[in-house]
Every structure is written in structure tokens, then in C-alpha cells.
Amino acid sequence: MNENYGDNFQRKSKYIRNHVPQHRLDWALKPESYKTYPNAIKTIKLPPPKFDENVKFWDIVINRKSSRNFKNEPITQEQLSLLLFGMTGLTRIFPNFAFRTVPSAGGLYPIEVYPVINNVENIEKGIFHYNIPKQSLELVKNGDFRSEVAKGCLDQNIAYKSAVNFIWTAMIERSKWKYLQRCYRYIYLDAGHIGQNFYLIAEALSLGACTIGAIYDDELNKLLEIDGINETTIYIGVIGK
């Protein structure tokens, strides 16, 4: 095993003047912008995002923090809807492109969101996928998956106690189509943008939140039934009261 794989990646993915990789974008092969589950067990339309006009932005920025203790109380569907919209919801929509609440390299948005619901009012436990254009949830698997997610997060108990675990995955080809091997740099940056919005929204909603980067990739990929190559788990967000 190459112990310096991180150093090697950083070096090999550098842009060097007059040696930037060039290739022609094949628009016919451009990956889809959104993943959906047309055969989902069920679909739940989320409430439209409704913002509290009394929340002050700079108070949120100053008070943002990681929380690792959660009450055994549900969050609301309205809070869940705001969290998902704030992570990567659509804002300005055009015929061939839509801006979102976060930036993304090349406007490619490779990150998908899987809320693993443990304790949300009037929503059953299970693994869901966030349908971004429809602001809805697609139920992928019924059941209580707190133990599996916690084990996949290096056995961290916060993922067992949380109301929702957001598993963020990367659709690699969506970004690689344009950026080739350097795409991984941008994918991780994109995940960071989403993670920061996640924290800020949680603070605005008076919820506790924490992100987790220490994961057993393959265990979580298996849980989501994704291949770990074309789509792979990269980051987790846990939240609760």
C-alpha cells in the first residue's frame, strides 16, 4: 500500500502553466444533473421552505458550532425541508440550468443527499433520497438503520442518537466529465460548501448538528446499494434537538 497516496494525489492533480489538460466536452455524454428513484417505495412531498425573517445572519455565523448530544425528540417536516433546501435546493431556474443555494465547480453539482430518517414527525424510519427538483423524499429502504449508519461512522454514537443522518454521496462522472482527474478536488470542495450550509441552517433552526468525515466508505456504500466507484459516500451530517 502506498502510504503517500494523499501527497501523490495533491502533486499529480496540480495545474501547471502551459500544461493544463485539454479535452473537448462531449455534450451528448454529459451526465444527468439529478439522480432520482422512479421505483421508490413511496414519495413524500416536503413542505415549501419557509424562512423566519427574524433570524439574524451574523448571529448564525457567530453561534455556529458542532453539537454531539441530541434529545430523543423529533424534528419537524418543515425543519427537514429547510435543511435539504438550504443544502442544495434550486433557486433561479432556467430551461437548461438551475442555480442552487451552494456553489459548485462548473455548475455540475455532483453531490447527492440521502437522509436516513430516525425521528421526524409523521415520517417513517428509513433511507430516503432527496429529489432536488421536486423538493421531495424518495423512500429507498424501510426500517431503522441507526446502528448501520453509526457503525459506518467508525461506531460514533452521535449517528445513532440523531434525528436524521444525511449521507452525502458523490456522482463522480458528473464532475469528471469536465475536470478529468482533478474532479476529486472539486467534489470535496463542493461537499464542504454543503456542509457549511448544513451547519448554518441548523443554527438558524436552533438544532444541534455535526459533520463526520471519518467513515467506512464501503459499509455505507453497501447500505445505500451504490457501487463506490461511479457513486460513493464521502461525508455525513447528523442533526437533532
CATH number of 117's domain: 3.40.109.10
Are the beta carbons of 137 and 68 closer than 8 angstroms? no
Any domain includes 81 = yes
The x, y and z cell numbers of residue 180, run together, are 478529468
Any domain includes 1 = no
Write out the H or E segment, with its range, that includes residue 103.
none
* Mean pLDDT value of segment 19-43: 94
Any domain includes 25 = no
Are the beta carbons of 104 and 190 closer than 8 angstroms? yes
At residue 226, the pLDDT reads 98
Any domain includes 132 = yes
Give the pTM.
0.95
Are the beta carbons of 186 and 105 closer than 8 angstroms? yes
* Mean pLDDT value of segment 37-60: 95
Any domain includes 123 = yes
Q: Decide if pLDDT at 2 tops 80.
A: no
At residue 180, the pLDDT reads 96
Q: Decide if pLDDT at 48 tops 80.
A: yes
**What does DSSP assign to residue 226?**
-
At residue 96, the pLDDT reads 85
Any domain includes 136 = yes
3-state class percentages of the chain: helix first, strand second, coil last, to nearest 5 = 35, 25, 40
Digit-coded pLDDT (tens) for 96-130: 899 999 999 999 999 999 999 999 999 999 999 99
User: What's the chain's average pLDDT?
Assistant: 96
Any domain includes 6 = no
* Mean pLDDT value of segment 140-168: 98
For residue 228, the enclosing domain spans 49-240
Q: Decide if pLDDT at 1 tops 80.
A: no
Tell me what percent of the residues of the chain surpass a pLDDT of 90.
Answer: 95
**Which stretches of 95-216 are DSSP H helices?**
146-152, 158-161, 172-179, 183-204
At residue 22, the pLDDT reads 87
Mean pLDDT lowest among 10-14, 190-194, 207-211: 10-14
Any domain includes 39 = no
At residue 208, the pLDDT reads 97
Q: How many CA atoms lie within 13 A of 34 on its CB side?
A: 18
At residue 232, the pLDDT reads 98
Are the beta carbons of 47 and 80 closer than 8 angstroms? no
Q: What is the DSSP string of 10-25?
A: HHHT---TT-------
In total, how many domains does the chain have?
Answer: 1
Q: Decide if pLDDT at 240 tops 70.
A: yes
